[in-house]
Amino acid sequence: MRSRHTIEVTQPHMPPLEEYVALLRQVWDAKWLTNNGAMHRRLEGELCEFLGVEHVSLVANGTLGLCLALRAAGVVEGEVITTPFSFVATTHAISWNGLTPVFCDIREDTLNLDERKLESLITPRTSAILPVHVYGTPCATEKIQAIAERHGIPVIYDAAHAFGVRSSGRPLVDFGDFGVLSFHATKVFSTAEGGAIICHDAATKRKIDSLKNFGIEDEVTVSAVGINGKMNELQAAMGLAQLCHMAEATAGRRRIAERYRESLARVSGLQFSTPRPGVTENFAYFPILIDNCLFGVTRDGVHEYLRAHGVKARRYFYPLISDFPMYLGHPSSQADQLPVAKWAAERILCLPIHPGMGMEDVVRVVDSVLANRNEA
């Protein structure tokens, strides 16, 4: 009997090869591979239109985007308040800039930084707030902004999961002083590696553009300590080929999410997000929280069972960033300071979701989750 294929937790949405090759021919003809070439300029313009924002600066990856946004915001010393429930790059970007991360606990309903606990962490050393729109779910943007304005500090959003998401009609990447996107291969919109910084005015974009190009202003002028954070033409061409297929890719993700929600809605011990009023989703992830007392199997038990049956679910995010050795020393990393984050990290499991999945794959994932419970 033929073995069944492995269902990956995610897979890049690949544009038609001939469309990408046609763009590559233009790159070959131009003989311009990097440093603000035609593909780079065109992608920035098309992303502005697609996202509904005025200023986009493309970068080599999302982590560099966070590093550059902090520098562009003038955050050069002190502490940055962030979430422990994220990919480690969020906090690494803070540390790489010579700043000290301070972890704020998260909300149980959104798994985002808990704005109700934010102000108590602000001290004279606080230089910025760096929240994450986890799984593309909007943070409490208005409340966070009000707190930041009271204390005169910038807000830089890690919007790696939030491509195309809107909240009350406004692009989620447009909130805060900066929004930073990731275009990694695992994201809903991908340039293989890459990212972008969204800002609000032309002068700030010029500053970012200079910082990502070594701080160079012109042929003989270097005005700041910059870095090489530019996106190349091959990446930009991939992005252009991807962008015109975003509607169909998102529709495919939506169908999968809806089927998961229908199939798991009445299962005791499983918790997952439902559509939020005023939010346009991108269906980047399908996270579930597993209560082993009610479900009958631990999260790790479900994870192992799925893996053994060819379904690659992911414990995303586990462990917490605050549990990694380089971040354990700060008082805000202590478990009693982060009870909700600890609770979520022990229960979270992201089920496979990507446009390459067929409905038979979705049924197989659901059946495997429930079969594990029935066999326990």
Domain that holds residue 176: 17-243
For residue range 112-143, what is the model confidence (pLDDT) as tens digits? 999 999 999 999 999 999 999 999 999 999 99
pLDDT band at 376, cuts 50/70/90?
Answer: low
Task: Quote the percentage of the chain above a pLDDT of 70.
Answer: 98
Amino acid 282: pLDDT: 97
**In total, how many domains does the chain have?**
2
Asked if residue 95 and residue 24 are part of one domain, the reply reads: yes
Asked if residue 222 and residue 111 are part of one domain, the reply reads: yes
Asked if residue 131 and residue 99 are part of one domain, the reply reads: yes
Residues 6+ apart with CB under 8 A from 152: none
Distance CA 205, CA 227 (A): 15
Q: What is the CA radius of gyration of the chain?
A: 21
Asked if residue 203 and residue 119 are part of one domain, the reply reads: yes
Asked if residue 200 and residue 79 are part of one domain, the reply reads: yes
For residue range 344-366, what is the model confidence (pLDDT) as tens digits? 999 999 999 999 999 999 999 99
Asked if residue 176 and residue 67 are part of one domain, the reply reads: yes
Distance CA 217, CA 232 (A): 19
Task: Check which CATH number belongs to the domain holding 28 and give it.
Answer: 3.40.640.10
Last residue of a domain, one of 243, 258, 275: 243
Asked if residue 24 and residue 143 are part of one domain, the reply reads: yes
The first and second tokens of residue 265, run together, are 């809605």
343 in a structural domain: no
The first and second tokens of residue 201, run together, are 């005015």
Amino acid 3: pLDDT: 52
Asked if residue 258 and residue 222 are part of one domain, the reply reads: no
Asked if residue 226 and residue 83 are part of one domain, the reply reads: yes
Task: Check which CATH number belongs to the domain holding 309 and give it.
Answer: 3.90.1150.10
Q: How far is CA 9 from CA 274, 312, 363, in A?
A: 20, 5, 14
